Amino acid sequence: MASVRKRVLVTGGAGFLGSHLCERLLRDGHDVLCVDNFFTGRKSNIAHLLGHSRFEVMRHDITFPLYVEVDDIYNLACPASPVHYQFDPVQTTKVSVIGAINMLGLAKRVGARILQASTSEVYGDPTVHPQREDYRGNVSPLGPRACYDEGKRCAETLFFDYARQHKVRIRVVRIFNTYGPRLHPSDGRVVSNFIAQAIRGEDLTIYGDGSQTRAFCYVDDLIEGFVSMMEADDSVTGPVNLGNPHEIPVLTLAERIIALIGSSSGIVRRPLPQDDPLQRCPDITLAQNLLNWSPRVSLDEGLRRTVAYFQEELTEKNGAQGERAKRIYEAALALGTPIVAPPGTAHQLNADLLLGGAAETSRVNIPLRNGNGAGKVGV
């Protein structure tokens, strides 16, 4: 529990990272306002938080101004995977740039601290290895990834200009590849792609020969880094790299996932997409020195937890949605979210709310916490 209770805004709070961050902030005792336009975020990611007395959700697009009173802002809103950010590249640049201006304007108006979720993509296809924060990058301003890379670079510029010009209390973190439960199964990111393909028994798609390396950070480690950065002294503006420096070739990752799942999948190779970086690995010396932060969760452990989530998620697609309701219920209990209903009845939530509009049925029954077995889980 935090010693000071704060009102915290999380933009992109219904996304992969945002939903984990909202959970963490609630656990720390804060009031959390999750703002999301649900472009890639899912209601099911935050369904277990909806009954929490310190949690609020607002559907809003941050390319429009927002007027709320908050103490801290985590600015995460932006599609993060290439399939999503290339779907509407102009909107991607708008979210990064106009969204940053709006959130910085809000921070300026209310005197809030503000953390920007920047990205390792600001280094582009790096020519130095591993990447330190003082490396200026090798980004194409013209390629298909530029809407994201250059958008995020411009957002960083805005953060530092608001700090210099308006004394806004900024923090910038550059996030490297992060994975974990609630990654979107079809967002094309390498970990989610491989796990989904292996579970379905499909061949795993490798772009290029698979020798390109990536370093993967488990979501809980990253969220710890976010919070440490926000809580650091105002002089710690960043940019600070957050990621796991343990590097492995993409081919090795594929083989590990196949082995972990015990899948019969093979491997198919496709041409490397344009501007795809060959090597990406963070130098995290700065985070270690300034924040005393290092990732703790091993790749094998992180993959086990992620695979367990995907197995449940993909099984549901085959009809067993009750498992998901059960998981949401258990997560709600773990967080102390009050699920209140008269004894002997079941508390019902709209299935659309729980299942992100994907459900064909209209209601999900959540069992009573004190219902001595009266409630049933099911859709």
Ligand X SMILES: NC(=O)c1ccc[n+]([C@@H]2O[C@H](COP(=O)([O-])OP(=O)(O)OC[C@H]3O[C@@H](n4cnc5c(N)ncnc54)[C@H](O)[C@@H]3O)[C@@H](O)[C@H]2O)c1
Residues that bind ligand X in the complex, under the rule CB under 6 A = 11-12, 14-18, 36-41, 61-63, 76-80, 84, 95, 99, 117, 119, 175, 177-178
For ligand X, which is the closer residue by CB, 117 or 199? 117
Task: Respond yes or no: is residue 148 known to be catalytic.
Answer: yes
Rg (CA), the chain: 21
Q: Which residues contact 66 (CB under 8 A, 6 or more apart)?
A: 35, 60, 102, 103, 106
Min dist CB 372 to ligand X, Å, is 37
Catalytic residue, chosen from 74, 123, 148, 162, is 148
Rounded CA separation 314/337 (Å): 26
CA 117 to chain centre: 10
Give the CA distances from residue 37 to residues 10, 59, 62, 342, 378, in Å, rounded to whole numbers and listed in that order. 12, 5, 8, 34, 28
Residue type, 25: L
For ligand X, which is the closer residue by CB, 154 or 333? 154
| Whether the Cβ atoms of residue 325 and residue 377 lie closer than 8 Å to each other | yes
- CA 334, 336, 337: angle at the middle one, nearest 5? 110
For ligand X, which is the closer residue by CB, 105 or 378? 105
Give the CA distances from residue 226 to residues 16, 158, 174, 232, 241, in Å, rounded to whole numbers and listed in that order. 14, 19, 10, 10, 11
**How many Å is the maximal CA-CA distance in the chain?**
64
Min dist CB 173 to ligand X, Å, is 9
What is the token pair recorded at 18? 């945002």
What is the token pair recorded at 187? 């967002």
For ligand X, which is the closer residue by CB, 119 or 337? 119
For ligand X, which is the closer residue by CB, 85 or 162? 85
Which residues participate in catalysis according to the annotation? Answer: 148
